[in-house]
Amino acid sequence: LSASLLCENLNVSLSLSLSLHIEIAIVKMLDGLLGRSGFYSKSKSLIKQTRTRIDVVRRKRSATQKFLRKDIADLLAGGLDINAYGRAEGLIAELILSSC
């Protein structure tokens, strides 16, 4: 009798332990879907940092293009066509890099 009672108690405790593990797994899965996981928060912060870096690079390239356009206009106004052509090549290279 005591062996069967022990087995019954063991089965109950195993089923409770198993159901607890299943509940924990379900909660983790739902947390992942709802955005509370560590991966989600890390990814979100990395995406924000990457977006900020991309914005900085775009602003820098835009400023460089603006400077080159003004420089080309000044060189052409000053009669320095050969120098303006060199700057135009640099501007074209910047435009190609910016279009990606």
* Residues 25 and 60 grouped into a single domain: no
47, 65: one domain: yes
Percent of the chain whose predicted confidence (pLDDT) is above 70 = 58
> Per residue in 3-37, pLDDT tens?
554 445 444 444 545 566 666 676 666 666 666 66
In this predicted structure, the answer to whether residue 75 has a pLDDT above a threshold of 80 is: yes
- 75, 87 Cβ separation under 8 angstroms: yes
Owning domain of residue 8: 1-36
pTM given for the model: 0.52
pLDDT of residue 1: 46
Count Cβ atoms within 10 A of the Cβ of residue 80 and give its class: 0-12 exposed, 13-18 middle, 19 or more buried.
middle
Average pLDDT over every residue of 70-87: 89
52 and 31 fall within a common domain: no
Output the furthest CA–CA distance in the chain (Å, rounded): 110
**Number of structural domains in the chain:** 2
23 lies in the same domain as 42: no
Same domain, 45 and 74: yes
| Same structural domain, 13 and 50 | no
